[in-house]
Amino acid sequence: MKKLTQANPPHPGKVLFEYYLKPIGMNITQASEHLLITRPNLSSIINQKAGISAVMALKLAKAFKTTPQYWMNLQSNYDLWIATKASEDVVKKVQELR
C-alpha cells in the first residue's frame, strides 16, 4: 500500500482561523454570526474539537470565495492522517485480497 497522505496535515479549523479570520481581524463571535452557526459550534471547529461538515464547507466556500472541495479536502486529509496513526497496527494485519 502506497502512502500518499500528507504528513501532519492541518485541521481545517486551524486553517480557517490562521488564514481567513485572523488576517481580516474577525473574531469567532462575528464569524459565527456571519456563517449563521452558533459560536460554540464554530469555536469547536477552530479549536480542532469538531470537523467541517459538507454544509459548513458550502458556507465557508461562499464566505471566503473558495470551493467546498477545498474545505472537504482539508477535512479528509486530516481525518485520514488521524485514522492512519490510530490504526496503524491493525491495518498492518490486514491481508491483501487477490
- In this prediction, residue 4 has a pLDDT band, given cuts at 50, 70 and 90, of low
- The residue written with cell numbers 459560536 in the block is 39
Q: Which CATH architecture has domain 12-92?
A: Orthogonal Bundle (1.10)
For residues 30 and 61, what is the distance between their CA atoms, to the nearest angstrom?
17
Residue spans of the domains in the chain: they are 12-92
- Residue 3, pLDDT above cutoff 60: no
pLDDT at 56: 98
Predicted confidence (pLDDT) per residue in 33-75, tens digit: 999 999 999 999 999 999 999 999 999 999 999 999 999 999 9
- String of DSSP letters for 71-98: HHHHHHHHHHHHHHHHTHHHHHTPPPP-
- In this prediction, residue 91 has a pLDDT band, given cuts at 50, 70 and 90, of confident
What pTM was estimated for this model as a whole? 0.87
Given a contact cutoff of 8 angstroms between Cβ atoms, the answer to whether 47 and 13 are in contact is yes
